[in-house]
Structure 1
């Protein structure tokens, strides 16, 4: 009897320890409800904070310490603080950054099909979870002469600050003010990619700028054709090219992530996050073929081969080794 009790006690303790220790793998989707257009940043508190489109009224915020287990912490805006420069407009495609001592959140504001009046605004906070103070509109499409001005992406380079944006009407970039909250006076607008793209993200690595974007349709459920693509350049403003030297200005690119039997509509990737082992990870959204409601949050490891990024199988994983933290 004593031996049996000891065995039972040992098994109970083992179960507790196993429950506390995370598994060696994770499964996609990492969040199984709709969180399109993810953007991510690491806060000073050690958490990674993720922002997404889905709540078009307020923009939801989640946080995690291991990129796998996420908790909802609030929204960037409330009913009283949300931007209002586009009447009845939704908030789309947030892009979070740390500029100086402020967290700066760029966002799109548009009604569906409002390519002429949609625009990009910004808000700031002292902490990544907010509260965010809206600074309002930076520009509208018809004010900056870029039709469909949505999907902002910020990058600092060479001591200067830049914003890139656009959606299937060309991708453009321009220099910002020192605080990143407005377009620099006299700055020149420059086109960097053609009319096949939206969801811009630029990543600098080993002397190259890698231009990630999405092609196809984002929001047609199981019929969505969204695909994540990439090109590279030695200069921030290009020309960005594919492996054969053809330009993204002419809508040429390399495919990074495409659909498979489990997920379709794969695109609008986040910033690349590096774990403690030096592995690179990318978030994006997809439509699950098993549960096609919404666009769920996905994560996959990015490997670098011959100077180009790749994802295993060029398509979403269902189960993979976890990031190392």
Structure 2
């Protein structure tokens, strides 16, 4: 969710990133000789908070993140491990400006009606009353993106700290979920996905949560969210949690049947002796072997000055619930399977 000053130049930030044990340059695509059977966390050892990912029609994965890199970084990968920096979603001339001096946080990428639609938060730190959610569109996942302006501000929608958007389609309708520590809310969008239907707002989770993501599997909807402090370096308490429901709008509950509306949950990922502040997960991506993978950010406990680096772990489904082994980040794991 949160925002950092974007003081590190793009080229410097990613100069040594993305190799995962291979001597790949950031601008190189992996070859068969480069591919390993295991990878190490972090996937990218540079700051990429609040990742969102889409697999585009060209077969590549595209990743977007909170703008530690000004104007919102865009990266591309064939395998979720080796990433190439393509540039940014905006330029200084095209970036949104409806929240003066605001940063672009927690984007959410989607493909809607033949366009790539990027929902984004725009805020200054502490600006919970005037922050809000905007929309940008592009014909290609790498952009350029054209800003469509704000969808709403906190003081217009009646939900304080209105950031962290998440888009989902269900039963032929389009919805936006959002919220940060003042409740998770949802509303219905019009069919273009670019405007909202009036008087459709409803609360679906309590005040412990932000950065929600909903994944449908079998008969259940699973709400992933983050709790705790995101941005205090090695002192961060951020962790990824989950609840489930048979209905998109809840009630979402933990294994004991206690409701996320009452701030109950199951822990999915929390810190360990190497990583801390594990939260704001991406979409779940399935590989060609049917394995599910989740990306999220974390600090390296010993070097928190690197920022919130990109981690990835496999999600296992056990008795109808998602689990990450040990409820904490792996150091090394088998690579995803992509033919």
State which of 252, 257, 278 in structure 1 corresponds to 2:264: 252
State which of 152, 155, 169 in structure 2 corresponds to 1:139: 152
Does residue 269 (structure 1) correspond to residue 273 (structure 2)? The answer is: no
Structure 1: which 4+ aligned runs deviate by more than 2 Å?
54-57
1:223-242 aligned at under 5 Å gives the runs: 223-242=235-254
1:187 Cα deviation after fit: 3.6
- 5+ residue gaps in structure 1? 1-17
1:54 Cα deviation after fit: 3.3
User: Within 2, Cα distance between the matches of 1:104 and 1:42?
Assistant: 13
CA contact (8 A) 1:56 1:90 kept: no
User: Within 2, Cα distance between the matches of 1:290 and 1:31?
Assistant: 16
User: Within 1, Cα distance between the matches of 2:37 and 2:334?
Assistant: 6
State which of 145, 148, 170 in structure 1 corresponds to 2:183: 170
CA RMSD of aligned residues (A): 1.0
Match of 1:124 in 2: 137
User: Within 2, Cα distance between the matches of 1:19 and 1:61?
Assistant: 24
User: Within 2, Cα distance between the matches of 1:218 and 1:102?
Assistant: 32
Partner-residue secondary structure (3-state), 1:20: helix
CA contact (8 A) 1:256 1:310 kept: yes
CA contact (8 A) 2:47 2:68 kept: no
User: Within 2, Cα distance between the matches of 1:115 and 1:182?
Assistant: 22
Partner-residue secondary structure (3-state), 1:313: helix
- 5+ residue gaps in structure 2? 1-30
State which of 309, 329, 332 in structure 2 corresponds to 1:316: 329
State which of 33, 47, 52 in structure 1 corresponds to 2:65: 52
1:149 Cα deviation after fit: 0.1
Partner-residue secondary structure (3-state), 1:124: strand
- From the CA coordinates, give the structure whose radius of gyration is larger: 1
Does residue 181 (structure 1) correspond to residue 194 (structure 2)? The answer is: yes
State which of 38, 42, 53 in structure 1 corresponds to 2:55: 42
Query: Aligned residues, how many?
Result: 307
User: Within 2, Cα distance between the matches of 1:56 and 1:133?
Assistant: 18
State which of 221, 225, 248 in structure 2 corresponds to 1:213: 225
| TM-score when normalising by structure 1 | 0.93
User: Within 2, Cα distance between the matches of 1:39 and 1:263?
Assistant: 20
Q: Deviations over 1:108-155 (max 9, x none)?
A: 000000010000000000010000010000000000000000000000
Partner-residue secondary structure (3-state), 2:164: coil
1:56 Cα deviation after fit: 5.9
State which of 95, 100, 104 in structure 2 corresponds to 1:91: 104
User: Within 2, Cα distance between the matches of 1:286 and 1:57?
Assistant: 20
Match of 2:43 in 1: 30
User: Within 1, Cα distance between the matches of 2:333 and 2:221?
Assistant: 27
Q: Deviations over 1:250-294 (max 9, x none)?
A: 000000001000000000000000000000000000000132121
1:21 Cα deviation after fit: 4.4
